Amino acid sequence: MIELTVPISEEQILSLHAGDAVAISGIGTTGRDAAHKYLVERLIEGKRPLAAEDQRIYDELKKIYQGGVIYHSGPILRNDDGRWSIVSSGPTTSIRDEIYEDKVIAHFGLRVVIGKGGMGPRTLAACREYKAVYVHGIGGAGVTNARAMVEVLDVFKKEEFGLPEAFWKIRFDRFPGIVTMDAHGRSLHEELDKSFDERLAALL
């Protein structure tokens, strides 16, 4: 298993290939549909100047995402005397964010997108141009994944988006996954889709 620690360099990303198993450590955030819509429509393409709270979040995410990680997940959390912790956090379906992810990678300097099910040609092109990878998280293993999300450091947009859709700032410790889209233009999802289509055509 290849160890990746945030901030992740371009050289590390280029050393990865589809099929590599990785363990990711360092600080990143969760982010689902509402988070991606907010990132693009408010923070990247929204009117300037930003409102004070949006500017604060933008500045914080800029630091987190440069060479960093976003995890497509709506975690289940527990609050003990004001302190949040992750109970379970499985990857959610990534393709819903295909219309946003390339812009997020380009603008914020993301190196790793973690999710489930893969993404499309826009994200793959962004991975190649800006040197990023898509990592397929382990589905159906939310509790196991949560053990690698060792500390909740902050949360953004919780009141507006709700717990699952908020940005949870997390310290990851050897979070496991498989590179399925690399910075060399290869997508295992695309290859498998083509293989399935060919087998189906042969059967029919």
Please say if 72 is a catalytic residue: no
Q: Choose, from 36, 72, 136, 189, the residue flagged as catalytic.
A: 36
Among 144, 26, 23, residue whose Cα is nearest residue 87: 144
CB 30 within 8 A of CB 69: no
User: What whole-number distance in Å separates Cα of residue 93 and Cα of residue 102?
Assistant: 16
Rg of the chain over all Cα atoms, to the nearest angstrom: 17
Among 197, 185, 201, 175, residue whose Cα is nearest residue 2: 175
User: What whole-number distance in Å separates Cα of residue 78 and Cα of residue 131?
Assistant: 35
Scan for tokens 């410790």, then name that residue.
Answer: 173
**Length of the chain in residues, anyone?**
204
**Which residues are tagged catalytic?**
36
